[in-house]
Structure 1
Amino acid sequence: MRNKIYKSILFICSLLWFISCEKDLPTYLEYKDYSYSSTDENGGTWQPILIDEGAAINIGVPEDISSQSYQAEISAIKASTDEINAPQRKALTYWGNNAVVRWNEIALELIAKYNLIPGPNDDGSYTLPNPSDPNGPPAFPFAHPPYACRALAYLSVAQFDGLISAWHYKYLYNRAAPYQIDGSITYAYEPNDIPSYPSDGAVLARVSKKVLSAMFPLEKEYLQKLEDEHLESLLLSGGNVPSDISAGITIGDEISEIALARAANDGMKNAQAPKVVSDSIKAAAFERFGWQWENLEIPVRPVGLTPLFGKVKMWNVANVENVRPVPPPAIDSDAYLADVSILKDYADNMTEEKRSIANFWQDGLGTYTPPGHWNRFANEFMVEDKMNPLRSARTLAYMNMAIMDSGISCWDAKYYYHYPRPIQTIEGFKTIAGTPNFPSYTSGHSVFSAAASEVLAYIFPEKATLVRGWAEEAAISRVYGGIHWTFDATVGTDQGREVAKFTVDIAKLDGAN
């Protein structure tokens, strides 16, 4: 189902993940700077997601390269590059010539850091993380899979729109990079012919800092330091002058505001419903189907995870009910009893291979979650294909929109059907993968993985068989772990693929092909 060598490498990485400290999470992808496989001169004409067109954000006409002010900028760059110190050289190497990858890795690191269940109070009650008091306790956010997929979607979409705008102006004004204008300036990376005004790196630095600061408010100081380092590296690389940076920041500021305005009104703030609402959802499911999921955690949290995430605004699907899957088998039906036998057989005859698969795709607490797992794959593919930042941002934007939409669809099904997990209905049954705090049908990992794999199959058609095989393995891993029924996985895989088609259909028409 997957390339054995690649699987072994990934499995080793996953093992290292669990035994390493917070700052040693294997999000960092080492790669040499590369010549872009394309420069996408028409990238400024691609269809953005949040705005009408790339020209919607105004940055003004740049100074001519013969002007006194521009020549002063060149002189300042030459003086700075002559005095680069060791930390600055290290930063230049870190940021490289595709900072889309680096900022995505930073997001994954933060997701893993905050993917921790808030602990119970002394009286057994729970206090939920509060965005208006992020210090808590408990600290905000709890970066569970729904939160993670949303953070990644807003980050990637804002980056993509910002870079479309940057590309529009780059090829409108065609101002060459400093190292191309002055031969005495050495460029830190592989040369390319992409114009420098506005700086695409500055767009990424500002957008990423702002979106991630909103999603992880306790990390604002850390993110500000990263932005400052990134912006300095752009100047020291010989690829930008300060006016390039300033124009990129203008784009980044405006795109960030648009993205965060959408986020503020997408319904996520209501996703973690109070107990009275959670209980009413549960009662409605029982009245509708005659069953209801019970949380068997110890200690038990009074409310399931984000019961109203299924109500959050989707990116590319008009109505979540249009992609709601068929009902699961009735309890004690032939289909249900057949699945009981399958799960018991897996539990009684667990093999090392099945256990390894379950562990590899676990993506539980303290990790970057299932959506993050697929972002890691995408980063590797983007570097392998030598994508420029704009095309990289496009890849992550469409993939993360599809993942978020699929997650919303999955959570709609989870709380609409409120189906019990195997541990609840099979007497004496035990899992090897914990006890998730939300209903069983459909499997979140199956849905996330199927959606991600469909977008990656579209963008990297030569890898279609590979990534679809991974998605199917991720789905069955949840059955091996004992936390899902086989129909949770199979229907969830179909669900993720169906939801992803909406995003892929839009991608096919955005002008990038």
Structure 2
Amino acid sequence: MDNKIFTLFMALGLLLLTSCEKDLPKYTPYEGYAYSELDVDGGNWIPVLEESGASIEVPVPDATDSETYLNELEELKQAMSDITSDQKRAITYWTNNPAVRWNEIALELIAKYNIIPGPNADASYTLPNPANPEGPPAFPFAHPPYACRALAYMSVAQFDGLISAWHHKYQYNRAAPYVLDGDIDYAYEENDIPSYPSDGAVIARASKNILTAMFPLEADYLQQMEDEHLESLLLSGGNVMSDITAGTTIGDAVAETALTRASNDGMKDAQTPKAVSDSIKQAAYDRFGWAWDNLEIPERPVGLTPLFSQVTMWSIDDVESVRPVPPPALDSQEFLDDVEVLKDYAQNMTDEKRRLANFWQDGLGTYTPPGHWNRIANEFIVQYRLNPLQTTRTLAYMNMAIMDSGISCWDAKYYYHYPRPIQMIDGFETIAGTPNFPSYTSGHSVFSAAASEVLAYIFPEEAEQMRAWAEEAAISRVYGGIHWSFDATVGTDQGREVAQYTLNRARADGADN
């Protein structure tokens, strides 16, 4: 895949939904831009995991009139004088808001590894093993729970790192090389943000470290991307080497904090042995008189991550506190009415409903529903010209909300263990397969509602559009025959409720003051 392709919604592609028709968004290449604001007080914002912006120390920088710094300037100018065409292309690619680029790289890796392990010759299954990432099958299987967790940890590390960078930038106020030396041409739009430490270097190191832990087989590729990114920071005229070194120091520190949390968050136990999976299913049957059955041939012995519900949440202490109401009993009129709704959709499928089901499918080989919303977020970040600190704040809170909503959704899925339509309606067929986990509530609906609420908070002018897209994503799963209507409607409410816990943190972090 081409890592140098990134696109954003043009304004014309962001029209409100006005009828059953919705034009596909139009894209254009993303390049650097002038920031809408600088957030000079950003170093005082409250991080997610670090104690404060000052909790990570970097050396006091050399004065700009010192011999050491003047030598750095000369080395920079020499390097820029020998720049190659490939290096120029790299500078254009990385831009002055590289968190978007690293998010794009993460989405590409998710799509690459979103391949469900197939059965062995004897119809048994072997799960991906982080202790043997080469497999077979290769580790990881980047399904939606795995994807939202990887995006959350990377985004939180980026955000915490840039709060620290902003703290030191305005503590030391060392101007960028192109400001100090008129012979240096800056590759991007000029701004007054101090250069020490390099925020780009924070992003590069933190992102590389997190993604390497999440996608260990991509270590060489990620190192190559970090090397190219760090070199572009220098050759852009925006940083000298000591700026970059201080930035990587912060990046290492925030990544270590994030990965320490990840190692103890319970994800390693989310995929259970068959005996545990069977006990969860039996408990649901004893409780409600129903249970979801996997209809694959050969049948996969365990559903997808039954204990994802026990992974540590970012903003909620008790997952049961946001568990939705029970789904309809299988002999209730509400359930029988929904059977007829799904039959009607299947028998009277329109091109528009099919298009929406396919557009929001985000199945195997894609960057999953959480990735879809990251793509949307990136496009609005560029449209509204957010600076790097604002960008990482947006992505951190959105991905925290998506992950928390996913944990809540999986709690409902395996607590209620509700059958899918294909299990309950004779001869029923879906448009795009059936996922390997229970029906209630809809993951697409929960992920989308949570993401849309955070984006509505960050981009209030787009709130109506964000919520309309979330509702469209939810109903698309019903059109596809994958979910019941109440999976989607209750899931949407669930995602919105969970997102409020994240937004309470966001409103208290100092950025809105």
Same fold by TM-score greater than 0.5: yes
Listed as ranges, the gaps of 5+ residues in structure 2 are 1-15
For residues 396 and 7 of structure 1, the distance between their equivalents in structure 2, rounded to whole angstroms, comes to 26
Q: Structure 1 residues 189 and 322, CA, compared in 2 at 3 Å: closer, same or farther? A: same
Q: d(CA) in 2 for partners of 1:335 and 1:198?
A: 59
Residues 30-109 of structure 1: pairs in structure 2 closer than 5 A: 30-109=29-108
**Residue 13 (structure 2) aligns with:** none
1-structure distance, mates of 2:228, 2:406: 34
Q: Given the alignment of the two structures, is residue 2 of structure 1 paired with residue 17 of structure 2, yes or no?
A: yes
User: How many Å separate the matches in 2 of 1:268 and 1:3?
Assistant: 41
Which residue in the other structure is 1:249 paired with? 248
Matching of residues 52-451 of structure 1 within 5 Å: 52-451=51-450
CA distance in structure 1 between the partners assigned to 2:21 and 2:440 by the alignment = 31
The alpha-carbon deviation at position 269 of structure 1 amounts to: 0.2
Q: How far does the alpha carbon of each residue in 1:84-131 deviate from its partner, in whole angstroms, 9 at most, with x for none?
A: 101000100000110010000000000000000011100000000000
* Deviation of the 1:6 alpha carbon: 11
- Write the mapping of 1:418-497 to structure 2, written as runs, cut at 5 A: 418-497=417-496
2-structure distance, mates of 1:255, 1:101: 18
Distance in 1 separating the partners of 2:213 and 2:157: 13
Query: What is the letter of the counterpart of residue 269 of structure 1?
Result: K
Structure 2 counterpart SS, 1:8: coil
2:478 is aligned with what amino acid?
V
CA apart distance, 1:243: 0.4
Tell me how far apart the structure 2 counterparts of residues 489 and 78 of structure 1 sit (CA, whole Å): 58
Identity %: 71
Aligned residue identity for 1:80: A
Instruction: Give the deviation of 1:4 after TM superposition.
Output: 8.0
Once the two structures are superposed, what CA deviation does each residue of 1:221-272 show, in whole Å capped at 9, x if it has no partner?
Answer: 0000000000000000000000000100110011110000000000000000
CA contact under 8 A between 2:128 and 2:135: conserved in structure 1? yes
Runs of 4+ in 1 over 4 A off after TM superposition: 3-7
Q: Give the letter aligned to residue 139 of structure 2.
A: F
SS at match of 2:402: helix
| Structure 1 length-normalised TM | 0.96
Query: Deviation per CA, 1:159-212, whole angstroms, max 9, x where unpaired?
Result: 000000000000000000000000000101000000000000000000000000
Q: CA deviation at 1:32?
A: 3.0
Partners of 2:388 and 2:409 in 1: how far apart? 31
Contact 2:31-2:93 within 8 A present in 1 as well: no
Partner Cα distance (1:33, 1:138) in 2: 39
Question: For the residues of structure 2 that align with 1:332 and 1:484, how far apart are their CA atoms?
Answer: 18
Deviation at 1:9, TM superposition (A): 3.0
Provide structure 1 residue ranges, at least 5 long, that are not aligned to the other structure.
Answer: 14-28
Q: Take 2:18 and 2:236, find their aligned partners in 1: how far apart are those partners? A: 38
SS of the residue 2:494 aligns to: helix
Structure 2 distance, partners of 1:459, 1:64, is 38
TM-score using structure 2 length:
0.96
Residue 8 of structure 1: how far off its partner (Å): 2.5
User: RMSD between aligned alpha carbons?
Assistant: 1.2
Per-residue CA deviations over 1:361-413 (Å, capped at 9, x if unaligned) read 00000000000000000000000010010000000000000000000000000
Distance 1:499 1:458 in 2: 14
CA offset at residue 291 of structure 1? 0.2
Letter in 2 for 1:216: F
1:470-493, Cα deviation, whole Å (9 max, x unpaired): 000000000000010000000000
| CA shift for structure 1 position 83 | 1.0
